[in-house]
């Protein structure tokens, strides 16, 4: 009988210690969860502030004022734009060979290389 009482006392003590450890682990995890919730709320508030600031900075009237202050942009004059006649003409494709073979580019002169469009004085006027 004495042994059974000591055994039950040891089992109750072990269960009490285990319950104590589990309780403290749960409290630690609840504190950790509360900390994560606080971080999430702080991040969401920071995101809202940044979105408001972004909207404020991207106002069209503000951007227009910055463009006028820092960039020397002027409207493009229509005389600065070239005409269709100034574009190089496209080379005609040779007709298909009489024997049904598709034409090759071997007999054609090389295609002109693109160059910048230079306006003459007459075109600028």
What local confidence, expressed as pLDDT, does residue 24 receive? 97
Domain ranges, residue 65: 22-69
Determine phi and psi for 93, rounding to 5 degrees. -80, 135
Instruction: Dump pLDDT digits (tens) for 59-111.
Output: 999 999 998 898 888 777 777 777 777 778 877 766 655 555 555 555 666 65
pLDDT at 125 over 50: no
Segments of 1-125 assigned E as strands? none
In a domain, residue 42? The reply is: yes
Handedness of CA 51, 56, 59, 65 (dihedral sign): negative
CA pair distance 18, 24, nearest whole angstrom? 10
In a domain, residue 32? The reply is: yes
| Count of residues making up the chain | 125
Number of domains in the chain: 1
Long-range contacts of 40-46 (CB under 8 A, 24+ apart): none
Instruction: Dump pLDDT digits (tens) for 7-38.
Output: 999 999 999 999 999 999 999 999 999 999 99
């Amino acid at each position: 009988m004495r042994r059974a009482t000591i055994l039950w006392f040891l089992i109750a003590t072990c269960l009490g210690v285990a319950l104590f450890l589990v309780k403290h682990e749960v409290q630690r995890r609840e504190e950790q969860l509360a900390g994560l919730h606080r971080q999430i709320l702080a991040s969401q508030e920071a995101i809202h502030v940044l979105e408001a600031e972004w909207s404020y900075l991207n106002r069209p009237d503000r951007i227009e004022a910055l463009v006028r202050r820092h960039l020397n942009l002027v409207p493009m004059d229509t005389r600065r734009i070239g005409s269709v006649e100034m574009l190089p003409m496209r080379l005609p494709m040779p007709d298909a060979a009489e024997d049904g073979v598709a034409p090759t580019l071997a007999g054609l002169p090389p295609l002109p290389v693109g160059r910048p469009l230079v306006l003459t004085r007459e075109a600028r006027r």
